[in-house]
Structure 1
């Protein structure tokens, strides 16, 4: 569910050089920057906000770092219950695709990512990450109940029957 919030997971750029598409920016090379050497990795690194990958296996320190990042992200972006309370995957895809129409703007293959690009898209990428997290929490609460209450909240969009059936098989 989180992946659908990454705009480059909903598109591929078709050109003479990439007649079968650029695989969501994976074949759109950029000059090495914060371990990202293609457009998809730039977005996977939340447009460079958190560009350090923790070593595995995770340690207690790693989990502490994850908590600090989560706190920071939630302080940066406020998500309304209207935005968070959905399990409408088609709507999530439409949101990401609308953003994807512009993620190549101002970039050239093999070029560098400008600070103005980072300034423009970092807040959008951060919001997508936070929104995905809130929606995942909402879905889990709908499936298993909230830790705050045993009541389930009415979804703003109904859960697709096929998803309900698949999730019931997991029980």
Structure 2
């Protein structure tokens, strides 16, 4: 599983950062997140990245319709990317970076905090939340989460929220969810691993299920509009 530290091996500011060229064989790993920067203690913040998941998602959404004039090759490339980026933008820790006295260079979306969930292993906070959104060990597991037998199909989606199709707003929602839930107690800045409480894990699962279901509903609307 990639972390944001892996993403930052790419150069966000180089000439290829925002190019949308079909199957260019570049990683574009920084496309997977939009870091909205914040500091609860006044630690100075760097400039935001010039290219991010929301900016690229908007470019790709505009490219998908046949009327865009883009080649079928580029449209297929953007479709594959968009299927992934919509999910990324709804994962709270793909939309935030916290800067504190303990972590003055930022926590890379929770990659610098370690937690111990009920399963007993020590894991990065970011990876813990990524796993709530997927990481299936079997095809059946993925199907179960998507159907009506207690999976995402049983999660009610706010019909008004479903109509929000602006990637920047998806990221802002995820940012607020990260502050309220991903960084909730007992999570604290710094490398020391903390034991997650039952309340934390229950809230995290509920937020993840709600965000994933909303992402699916919004993706369906985006594709229906762009491809019909």
CA RMSD, aligned part only? 2.2
C-alpha deviation, 1:110, in angstroms: 0.8
TM-score w.r.t. the length of structure 2 is: 0.53
* 1-structure distance, mates of 2:128, 2:226: 33
Aligned to 2:179: 101
Classify the secondary structure of the residue corresponding to 1:101: helix
TM-score w.r.t. the length of structure 1 is: 0.69
Q: Which runs of 5+ in 2 are unaligned?
A: 1-85
Q: 2:143 aligns with which of 44, 67, 79?
A: 67
Map Cα deviations across residues 120-152 of structure 1 (whole Å, 9 max, x no partner). 22211110011111111111111112xxxxxxx
**Count of residue pairs brought into register by the alignment:** 134
Q: 2:214 aligns with which of 125, 131, 134?
A: 131
Q: Which is further off, 27-36 or 64-73? A: 27-36
Aligned to 1:39: 125
Matched, 1:85 2:130: no
Aligned to 2:106: 21
Aligned to 1:149: none
User: Contact conserved, 2:92 with 2:178, CA < 8 A, in 1?
Assistant: yes
* 1-structure distance, mates of 2:212, 2:91: 8
Aligned to 2:94: 9
* 2-structure distance, mates of 1:36, 1:70: 28
Map Cα deviations across residues 62-106 of structure 1 (whole Å, 9 max, x no partner). 1x442221011111x111332212321121112111111122121
**Structure with the larger RCO, 1 or 2 (CA within 8 Å, 6+ apart):** 1
User: Contact conserved, 1:29 with 1:110, CA < 8 A, in 2?
Assistant: yes
Aligned to 1:161: none
User: Contact conserved, 2:136 with 2:142, CA < 8 A, in 1?
Assistant: no
Classify the secondary structure of the residue corresponding to 2:217: helix
Q: Which runs of 4+ in 1 moved over 6 A?
A: none
Q: Which runs of 5+ in 1 are unaligned?
A: 56-61, 146-171
Classify the secondary structure of the residue corresponding to 1:18: coil
Classify the secondary structure of the residue corresponding to 1:45: helix
* 2-structure distance, mates of 1:66, 1:101: 28
